[in-house]
Amino acid sequence: MPRSAPPPLAAPIPITGLASHPGVLINLLDALAGAGGLSEEARTWLLLDPALALEVLRLSAQHGAAPGQYDFAELCERVSLTTLKGLASDAAIRQLANPATAIEDADWSRAISLAYLCRALARESDYPALDEAWLAGLFCALPGSQAALSELPIRGFLADVPRFLREPANRLRDATPLPRLAAMAWRLLEKRTPADLDTLSLPPSPDHASLRAILQEMDKSVEVFSALARAQQDLSGAVARFTRAELATTGMHERNCDGVLAAARLLAEQEGLYDPLYLRLDKRTSMLESQDLGEFHAPPISIRMEGGNSAAVRALFTRALVVVYTDAGGDASLLDMQLARQADADGVAAIPVGEGDTRGVLLVCGDRKALADVAAHAERYTRMGELTARAIPAAAPPPDAGDAYLGGRVRRAAHEINNPLGIIKNYLAILKAKLGDAAPIADELRIIHEELDRIVRIVRALTNDDDSLAELSEDTDIGQLVEDLVKVTAPTWQARGIQVTHKPGAALPRLNCDRDKLKQVLLNLLLNALEATPDGGEIRLETARITNQKRERFIELQISDSGPGISPEVADKLFAPLETEKGEDHAGLGLAIVNKLMEDLGATISFKTGSSGTSFQLLFPLG
């Protein structure tokens, strides 16, 4: 059962002790810009930054984090997203003011290497807290790490890592696992050989081949991290992008208008992107239809999704931003070129917006520089499109036309369903004629035919103008109905070694009732009994004609299982629509439906339960 998250901390605290890497900050700011939650990508960059990782530790410790055994995702949950954004932007602004405060590339690469090695060794040794091992490696050889860790208001052995890093191996033999893992990682990185392996290793200790493989994987991983950190070195640009995205997010929440319109205005104000066109997906026709957007009046445009190659179609299918330039040749559809030329622009950007029933695309035009900036930070604009989903009003049917609209859709669906049903019934009749009435599977064919007829009746009832389904009363042999359901469910219980027996009553009268509802009741109860019964158990079904003390006559049906019974807590609310887990109590929404169907049939249901099983009694009154 997931633990409830503690209330997040909210007040940023100035970073002290360790330095940040500018390349990491650039990527982290882009991952946080406009985000409504902490993504895996952002959490990864936090773990690659010693200063910010230290701040997460410090803030979470102030909130009462458990000592040691750190799971970084849980630590981040203790700190509010606003705080994390504030810490990242503060660190970036401080580095812009004084670049000398940044961590050197060599020191950062060494810290990441040690973190990788320490976590890999922990995994090989079955150490349970891999994130704690990563943090130990990250901090163990950085200048000032011992003082910074010693100031943390935490218990545990993380602060001992830099303190004991260079102790002789024989002295570390008796130390706790974390300093030993870090010391082994440090020696492995220094000498590229498994130095002091037998002394420092935790059982089960990795062999030499495993250690060589770990070193090779470390080199590859650190190179990937380094390449990503070096990919962008414009820290001031990252701060500007982050600030614009945060302002855009705030503006979209504060402006009292459609979310797409707010996004279009912000793109025009902050990015120089103009002539917005909002296209909304009509799920009935699979067409993107143009919509007026506030003061922006849309030309009548319809785009077919199937086979389309426009930027809008590609953006909607991929759920990612698409930028197309007018000089892109075949990559630019005629529509993209028309829109760009109409706006005297170099191209168009298509941003997917909304979700579910409000899916669409926002098209904006711009010059090459503005579009290139959009393309370089596609994730941020895709995230902006996702945020608009919270403010897009759902499409509503025309006034006083909702019922007619829904009825029309139901009738069209019923028409389409009836066609394949008719084909299936025809082939079933052919198969039955070929096999003859004496065929071994004649009963199974009859049951399939009856179920198809039931589907046809339900579909026809749905197309009636009346609001409710018509009652479909017919004379029903309840004993035969039980036999049919036992046969239908046989593959389920036979494979589990369960015995299902039916003891039919003698000379039972036929019931005049809705056969389909009665079948739904019996099937639901039988499936519940099968779910509650252990393998090798027993289920008994008995039908009988009884008379009570008031001389009232009934057909009685009892369904008994050999399961563990129903707990008192569940039994008290057995027929209420509670979303309880099935299993030993085998209750839930199904029994609420059964109870309602029994009321519709004018019948009653009751039960008895104990450690030896549960029995349901159904009473159907006879006139």
Give me the mean pLDDT over the 131-135 stretch.
89
Does 321 score more than 60 pLDDT?
yes
Asked if residue 115 lies in contact with residue 95, where contact means CB atoms within 8 angstroms, the answer is no
- In whole angstroms, what is the distance from residue 302 CA to residue 353 CA? 17
Average pLDDT over residues 413-418: 57
User: Can you give the three-state secondary structure of 57-71, one letter per residue?
Assistant: HHHHHHCCCCCCCCC
Give me the helix-helix angle, 515-532 and 589-600, nearest 10°.
Answer: 150
Task: Name, of 53-57, 61-65, 264-268, the range with top average pLDDT.
Answer: 53-57
pLDDT higher for 404 or 512?
512
Query: Which pLDDT tens digit goes with each residue over 516-574?
Result: 788 888 888 988 898 899 999 999 999 999 988 888 899 999 999 999 998 888 888 78
Query: For the chain, how far is it from start to end, CA to CA, in angstroms?
Result: 52
| Longest CA–CA separation in the chain, Å | 98
pLDDT for 463 equals 55
Residue 616 pLDDT class (50, 70, 90 cuts): very high
Query: Which helix (H) or strand (E) segment is 500 a member of?
Result: strand 499-503
User: Which pLDDT score, from 0 to 100, does residue 2 have?
Assistant: 39
Mean pLDDT of the chain: 77
pLDDT at 468 over 50: no
Pairing of strands 347-353, 322-325: antiparallel
CA atoms of 588 and 576, how far apart (whole Å): 8
| Predicted pLDDT at 64 | 55
Homologous superfamily in CATH for domain 474-621: Histidine kinase-like ATPase, C-terminal domain (3.30.565.10)
Tell me whether the CATH fold assigned to 22-231 matches the one assigned to 257-390.
no
**Which of 3.40.50.150, 3.30.450.40, 2.60.40.10, 3.10.180.10 is the CATH number of 257-390?**
3.30.450.40
- Quick one: average pLDDT of 190-208? 69
All structural domains of the chain with their residue ranges: 22-231, 257-390, 402-462, 474-621
Amino acid identity, position 204: P
pLDDT for res 167: 81
Each residue's pLDDT tens digit, 99-111: 888 888 888 888 9
The answer to whether residues 214 and 124 touch, using CB atoms and an 8 Å cutoff, is yes
Task: Read off the pTM.
Answer: 0.46
Q: For residue 343, is pLDDT > 80?
A: yes
Statement: residue 454 has pLDDT above 80:
no
Q: Give pLDDT, residue 5.
A: 44
* 3-class SS shares of the chain: helix, strand, coil, % to 5: 55, 15, 35
CB 361 within 8 A of CB 316: yes
Is the pLDDT at 347 greater than 80, yes or no?
A: yes
**Count H helices, E strands: the chain?**
26, 13
- Could you tell me if 281 and 316 are in contact, meaning their C-beta atoms sit under 8 angstroms apart? yes
Q: Which pLDDT belongs to residue 154?
A: 67
Residue with tokens 């004496």: 438
Nearest-Å Rg of the Cα atoms of the chain is 34
Q: Distance between CA 505 and CA 230 in Å, rounded?
A: 83
> pLDDT band for position 62 (50/70/90)?
low
What proportion of the chain, given as a percentage, has pLDDT over 70? 75
Q: Compute the average pLDDT of residues 389-402.
A: 47
The per-residue DSSP string of 312-381 comes to HHHHHHHTS-EEEETTSGGGS-HHHHHHHHHTT-SEEEEEEE--GGG-EEEEEEE-HHHHHHHHHTHHHH
Distance CA(481)–CA(477), nearest Å, equals 6
pLDDT for 580: 41
What pLDDT is recorded for position 103?
87
Quick one: CA dihedral 325, 329, 335, 339, positive or negative?
positive
What is the pLDDT at residue 472?
A: 59
pLDDT above 50: residue 9: no
* pLDDT beyond 80 at 73: yes
Q: Which residue has the higher pLDDT, 203 or 495?
A: 495
Q: What is the pLDDT of residue 430?
A: 60
Distances (CA, A) of 412 to 284, 416, 454, 491, 507: 12, 6, 19, 36, 45
SS3 (DSSP) at 507:
coil
pLDDT at 464 over 60: no
Q: How confident is the model at residue 127 (pLDDT cuts 50, 70, 90)?
A: confident
CB 355 within 8 A of CB 389: yes
Does residue 406 have a pLDDT over 80?
no
What CATH fold (topology level) applies to the domain 22-231?
Answer: Hypothetical protein af1432 (1.10.3210)
Which carries the bigger pLDDT value, residue 201 or residue 87? 87
- Whether omega before 14 lies within 30 degrees of 0, making that bond cis, reads no
SS3 472: coil
| Range in 150-159, 244-253, 436-445, 522-531 the model is least confident about | 244-253
pLDDT at 499: 93
Predicted confidence at residue 11, as pLDDT, reads 39
pLDDT of residue 470: 44
β 604-610/553-560 pair status: unpaired
Q: Which one, of 354, 366, 340, 362, lies nearest residue 291 by Cα? A: 362
Reported as a single tens digit per residue, the pLDDT across 163-195 is 887 788 778 777 888 888 888 888 888 877 666
DSSP category for residue 290: E
Which alpha helices (H) appear in 436-471, and where do they start and end? Answer: 442-462
State yes or no: pLDDT of 395 exceeds 50.
no
Among 197, 220, 357, which Cα is nearest to 281's? 357
Summarised one tens digit per residue, pLDDT across range 84-97 is: 888 888 888 888 88
Contact 245, 384 (CB under 8 A): yes
Average pLDDT over residues 444-459: 69
